Chain A
């Protein structure tokens, strides 16, 4: 496993831990289809919460959350449709969140949660 994938994996673990602490129930992790992947799909009992987890080891190339642009948002929306179809969920409220995990070496890891980011 490449170092960056490992970092991403670690970030997703942290993100799931964070969400679970907040009382969300994780339904899927790394759900893949032809169009792409959903990092975490969870629910807060009222609505579906689709989370994109972005992990970085430093801000040299910008903040983690900045990497989530319009193109990425559109792809996540598309994949969510596929997820809903695959799980035969007919209609529900959906919220798209971004979890920015910053894991700088030698510093405590921070998780920043952007609720309803797009």
Chain B
């Protein structure tokens, strides 16, 4: 009877590919043939689509229907193609004009009664649609706010197949998204709540200013977890592109809230130490789903009781720490998820962990083994190690402890100084700057780096450790308002690094 085309998007991790759906009706016994590597959920869509079309009061062509998903070699998964399949089939009988389908991406799962159900990953789908030069997008109404984050596309939200059909026919309007609202998100708790711990506070400040990784060690109940939770409050709000990348990961993981999708608050993700590898770095069968490291993109990944986590899991963090992304290989291809997070580890000094270390009853071997679970290569990537001390006086002196706002102001001005320095080179924080650049273009005078030479010669520092200490030194100079670190700041950086905290 005819041929019609509609468009949808297939997701592969956070990358989308626009899929052309062709429907050819006629020339054989009634039946639906779906070709183009569909997965089980997509293969079942032929039954859903038929029921939805019939229950929306439309005629189902009583002939052989061939549905081709192109590019045919790309594996397609999920139920988001239902709407496009239905419109392509109805396009063959002229219910929908081909002109209305051209340049329009249709996303959504159909219920048997013709309602449109939300799908995961609307945001990355739309980014792909925009790249492919599509003009209009129809999404289930629940995904409208998320869809609105993508500029340069006409976005419409629909609740049922009937809505979409009459809209394509030009009979009615669909809901348009409102202006993008910046979801404030929950304000993180205030730094002023933490008693004492000047060392650890300063380490937090340096870490926040330079984007460095941090290890907090101390007996239970001294405020490691409290500090880590407040650490996010020191970070600047996310840039629009960062917030969008994070929202795309959340969308694929199905974790994007229905309202206020674009949060500019840096994420704080704290996986429990019993988490599985798949939950931590991402995984799952078929196409791998993003894990905690990607959900913490541009934010903080906090691992409490780090030695309990097990060396295999912690060491799995090493590659994303270094590369800022994870690549997960599965049977159906490799996916990449962004994972540029700041790692904050917290640990007790030993398994018995009394308030005062001198009361420890652990044999020395047990003590060594406990922190030994944090492997050398992992610790080599942690720039700052801070020790927390038992709280000795239970007096709250509000004037004495700095609030988040005060510290944050210093962090932001230090970040601004660093940002100006690296502006032409494409980096935002000191932690991102490659070592060779620090050693050549931004080389410090010989006197300033003498402590590093000494450390390298004595075998206390690795070459990477020296680079990392250098980055911390630059952050310290940004915080102090200097234009470059001197010998004293390099020594301070080394102090935070190789003190026998761990």
Contacts and interface: CB of A to CB of B under 8 A. Distances in A.
Contacts, number: 17
Interface in B1-53: 28-31
B202 interface: no
A42 interface: no
B319 interface: no
Interface in A16-72: 63, 65-66, 68
Nearest to B62: A63
Contacts of B31: 66
Contacts of B30: 63, 65-66
B28 A117 contact: yes
**Residue in B28, B30, B31 with the greatest tally of chain A CB atoms within 10 Å:** B30
A50 B304 CA distance: 75
Interface in B29-82: 29-31, 62
A56 to B, nearest CB: 12
Contacts of A114: 28-29
Contacts of B28: 114, 117-118
A5 B30 CA distance: 24
A29 B62 CA distance: 27
Nearest to B31: A66
A113 to B, nearest CB: 12
Contacts of B62: 63, 65, 112
Interface string A64-82: 0110100000000000000
| Chain B residues touching A, range | under 10
Contacts of A65: 29-30, 62
A63 B29 CA distance: 10
A114 B31 CA distance: 13
A65 B30 CA distance: 6
Nearest to A112: B62
A98 interface: yes
B292 to A, nearest CB: 48
A65 B31 CA distance: 9
B315 to A, nearest CB: 53
Interface in B180-206: none
Contacts of A66: 29-31
A66 B62 CA distance: 9
A65 B61 CA distance: 12
Contacts of B29: 65-66, 68, 98, 114, 117-118
Nearest to B28: A117
A66 B61 CA distance: 12
A118 B31 CA distance: 12
Nearest to A102: B62
Query: Top 3 A-B pairs ranked by shortest CB distance?
Result: A117-B29, A66-B30, A65-B30
Interface of A: 63, 65-66, 68, 98, 112, 114, 117-118
17 contacts: A63-B30, A63-B62, A65-B29, A65-B30, A65-B62, A66-B29, A66-B30, A66-B31, A68-B29, A98-B29, A112-B62, A114-B28, A114-B29, A117-B28, A117-B29, A118-B28, A118-B29
Given A114-B29, A117-B29, A118-B28, 5 more contacts: A63-B62, A65-B29, A66-B30, A112-B62, A118-B29
